[in-house]
């Protein structure tokens, strides 16, 4: 059996660590492992790089931007997500999304230029204000990392005091899926790090120099980071597939599409039903387990056996807030851990989920450096690109990351 893999990028990205690339804690190469490296020892996998512009699910056929077509006996749709701006005027044009490696690199370069300008301005200049939209894990982790970065720059004299990181969310709490205890902990830690929380407030419009809130207030800013939600890839909209919330494909319990037994959808491309009738959350653990389950179901079909309903093993949820500060709710019963222990658990889990031993080792060394040298991210952000260990990888095995300005 042969497998054809197509993607517009030549690498696999690890989305939970995008904010660390944006804030100079990790080099982009650590979370973007080339497909060539991943599948080098899998001769049955053919890499077919290209952007999919059309899907014919009934024929299990894809059309690429260059006109090439790919077809097979089965089709697995794992097209990922894109930012969802919910129709907010100006958001798509002025805000910085954080949903792919190129987004993270573009934001990092923007922040680097912004901070260098701020460092050269007179003390009487308006203080730097950065707005993060969205109080989920991505928004909280980004806001916490930015606050620590700006505090380190200010402490070393590279940035005037008075800076602000403002987190805006319509809800009553950040990290809404977490427990009330986690809400309280996260609020306290963010506030202690200098993050201003603007809850019960939505974004009404985004301009180049300010954000208008739904309560009528306006905040001056040069940088808006959008972590306010996501929807499925645009290519799914024209595929004629049944879709639900977020434009994601509605699948059956066995991850196949109704009426199309040879078509599967997983990850951020799918709304996967839980046994109780709800929809499983858009988590990396759900995507990872669903991908393996879909593969097993295809193998079952090829053997002449019926596919089986997906059984998700809930390992819990976690979020980083800052140095020695994280929350983790472990297992289906959500046993809660917070503080340094959750911080260490977060580092360990995310390092082990990275693809490739080199990336894991590099991440651990970068995190250790950051932990024992508080000024490390600030020095990198103010002067250079985060460095990666020279592992001796061939140039052909480095990801081709294209950053649009």
Could you tell me if 251 and 257 are in contact, meaning their C-beta atoms sit under 8 angstroms apart? yes
Q: Of 203, 271, 201, nearest to 231 (Cα)? A: 271
CB 159 within 8 A of CB 153: yes
Residue 295, domain member (yes or no): no
pLDDT given at position 358: 58
Longest dimension (CA), the chain: 74
Structure tokens at 103: 């987004």
Note the pLDDT tens digit of each residue in 237-250. Answer: 889 999 999 999 99
Is residue 149 situated within a structural domain? yes
Q: Which range, of 62-66, 166-170, 303-307, 347-351, averages the lowest pLDDT?
A: 347-351
* Residues 347-372, mean pLDDT to the nearest whole number: 62
DSSP character at residue 279: B
User: From CA 323, how far away is CA 342, in angstroms rounded?
Assistant: 11
Burial of 199 (0-12, 13-18, 19+ CB in 10 A): middle
Sign of CA dihedral 377, 379, 383, 385: negative
Indicate whether 266 belongs to any domain.
Answer: no
pLDDT of residue 156: 82
* Range of 179-183, 360-364, 378-382, 395-399 with top mean pLDDT: 179-183
pLDDT at 27: 85
Averaged over 87-106, what is the pLDDT?
96
Q: pLDDT tens, 387-398?
A: 555 444 556 567
Structural domain boundaries enclosing 138: 91-228+316-383
Determine the Cα–Cα distance for residues 248 and 78; give it in Å rounded to an integer.
10
191-238 pLDDT per residue, tens? 999 999 999 999 999 999 999 999 999 999 989 999 999 999 999 988
CATH number at residue 337: 3.50.50.100
154 in a domain, yes or no? yes
Q: Is residue 64 part of a domain?
A: no
Q: Residue 3 has what pLDDT?
A: 96
- Which among 356, 396, 311 is positioned nearest to 14, based on CA atoms? 356
Rounded-to-10 torsion of CA 279, 284, 289, 295 = 100
Render the burial of 223-232: b for 16+ CB within 10 Å, e for the rest.
bbbbbbbbbb
- Give the catalytic positions in this structure: 141
Q: How many residues does the chain have?
A: 405
Query: What pLDDT digit, counting tens, does each position of 247-275 carry?
Result: 999 999 999 999 999 999 999 999 999 99
What per-residue confidence (pLDDT) applies to 394?
59
pTM over 0.75: yes
Angle at 11 between CA 8 and CA 15, to 5 degrees: 95
Range with the lowest mean pLDDT among 61-75, 99-113, 131-145, 361-375? 361-375
User: Directed axis angle between helix 376-383 and helix 137-155, to 10°?
Assistant: 90
SS3 196: strand
How many whole angstroms from its chain centre is CA 341?
Answer: 23
Residue keyed to tokens 């434009």: 247
Residue 33 lies in a domain: no
- Rounded Cα distance, 207 and 90, in Å: 6
Q: Which percentage of the chain shows pLDDT scores above 90?
A: 65
Q: Indicate whether 289 belongs to any domain.
A: no
Contact by Cβ (8 Å): 34, 395: no
Using one digit for the tens of pLDDT, what is the confidence trace for 267-313?
Answer: 999 999 999 999 999 988 899 999 999 999 999 999 999 999 999 99
Structural domain contains residue 129: yes
* pLDDT on residue 392: 46
Give me the chain's average pLDDT, please. 88
Rounded Cα distance between 339 and 333, Å, is: 19
Is 331's pLDDT higher than 70? yes
In terms of pLDDT, which residue wins out, 103 or 332? Answer: 103
Distances in Å between the alpha carbon of 41 and those of 46, 288, 373?
11, 20, 39
Pairing of strands 61-64, 69-71: antiparallel
Q: How many domains in the chain?
A: 1
Q: In this structure, what DSSP letter does residue 258 have?
A: T
């Amino acid at each position: 059996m042969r497998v054809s893999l197509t993607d517009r990028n030549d690498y696999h990205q690890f989305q939970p660590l995008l904010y660390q690339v944006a804030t100079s804690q990790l080099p982009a190469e650590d979370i973007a492992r080339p497909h060539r490296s991943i599948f080098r020892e899998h001769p049955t996998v053919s890499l077919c790089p290209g952007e999919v512009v059309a899907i014919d699910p009934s024929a299990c056929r894809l059309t690429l931007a260059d006109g090439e077509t790919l077809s097979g006996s089965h089709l697995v749709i794992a097209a990922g997500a894109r930012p969802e701006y919910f129709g907010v005027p100006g958001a798509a044009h002025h805000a910085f999304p954080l949903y792919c490696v190129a987004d993270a690199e573009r934001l990092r370069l923007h922040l680097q230029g912004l901070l260098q300008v701020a460092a050269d301005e007179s003390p009487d200049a308006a203080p730097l204000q950065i707005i993060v939209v969205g109080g989920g894990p991505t928004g909280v982790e980004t806001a916490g990392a930015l606050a620590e970065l700006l505090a380190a720059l200010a402490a070393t004299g590279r940035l005037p005091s008075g800076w602000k990181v403002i987190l805006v969310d319509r809800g009553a709490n950040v990290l809404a899926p977490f427990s009330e205890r986690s809400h309280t902990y996260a609020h306290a830690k963010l506030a202690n790090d200098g993050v201003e929380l603007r809850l019960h407030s939505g974004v009404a419009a985004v301009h180049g120099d300010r954000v208008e809130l739904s309560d009528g207030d306006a905040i001056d800013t040069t940088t808006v980071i959008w972590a306010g939600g996501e929807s499925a890839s645009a290519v799914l909209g024209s595929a004629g597939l049944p879709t639900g919330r977020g434009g994601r494909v509605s699948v059956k319990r066995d991850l196949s599409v109704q009426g199309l037994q040879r078509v599967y959808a997983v990850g951020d491309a799918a709304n996967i039903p839980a046994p109780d009738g709800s929809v499983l959350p858009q988590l990396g653990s759900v995507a990872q387990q669903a991908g393996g389950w879909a593969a097993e179901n295809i193998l079952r079909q090829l053997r002449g056996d019926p596919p089986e309903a997906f059984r998700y093993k809930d390992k819990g949820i976690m979020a980083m807030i800052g140095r020695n500060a994280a929350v983790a709710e472990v297992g289906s019963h959500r046993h809660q851990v917070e503080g340094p222990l959750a911080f260490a658990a977060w580092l360990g889990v995310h390092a082990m989920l990275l693809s490739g031993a080199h990336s894991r080792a590099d991440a651990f060394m970068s995190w250790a450096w950051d932990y024992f040298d508080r000024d490390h991210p600030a020095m990198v952000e103010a002067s250079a690109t985060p460095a990666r260990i020279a592992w001796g990888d061939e140039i052909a095995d480095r990801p081709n990351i294209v950053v649009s300005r």
